[in-house]
Amino acid sequence: MSGHSGYCMRRRFFLWTALMLSWLALQPVCAEDMNLVITLDRADLQRRVERMFPITREGELVTVELRHPRVILAEHSDRIGMRLRVHAVAAQQFSVSGSARIDGVLRFDNSMGEFYLDDASVEELQIDNVDPVSLDQIRQLADGLVRDLLQEHPIYTLGQMGESKRIMGSELKSVTVRDGKLIVELAMP
């Protein structure tokens, strides 16, 4: 009898296992399971961005130099910001210095595995003792300078923290800042 009951128990076990595996196979695969999450901390982004500065642009009357970027990650935001030092020389006669805050939206170039900051613009510009016309010219030059720089030079390239290059072709699904870290989710192809 013990041989027969052992056989029945094994048979019941295999039957339940087959039923469970069949049920699992029929369950929909969640798209989130196919995503890759990349976490970048502010210090890592800071090191990468610092390599791009200082940068200078000359206008007709004003030359602007941007330097000493400091990455800003605002909690629960999908934007990346920077605080910069601004130095401007107007008509080669007087120079002024101050600070600017810019921010932009992360863009992922899936063919190269590179992240760029798009739509970057000067949100705040603080320079004392400058007339409004000169301040506007400085803002316009600084705005164009950061937009051009950050759209053309990646702030991060996949593979630098051990990610596989096989995720080329992925699409940017979401970007958010949590606990001082940039959380990027890529939908796998």
| pLDDT digit string, tens, across residues 120-174 | 999 999 998 888 888 888 899 889 888 988 989 998 887 765 555 556 567 888 8
117 with 167, same domain? Answer: yes
Number of independent structural domains in the chain: 2
84 with 21, same domain? Answer: no
Residue 24, pLDDT > 70, answer no
Pairwise CA distance, residues 41 & 43, whole Å: 6
What CATH number does residue 159 fall under? 3.15.10.40
Give, in order, the Cα–Cα distances in Å from 15 to each of 8, 22, 62, 98, 142.
10, 11, 81, 75, 70
For the beta sheet containing 35-41, the strands, ordered from the edge strand earlier in sequence to the opposite edge, are 35-41, 181-187, 171-178
139-166: b or e for each residue (b if 16 or more CB lie within 10 Å)? bebbbebbbebbeeebbbebeeeeeeee
In which domain, by residue range, is 156 found? 33-187
Span 41-66, average pLDDT: 89
User: Count of CB atoms within 10 A of residue 71's CB?
Assistant: 21
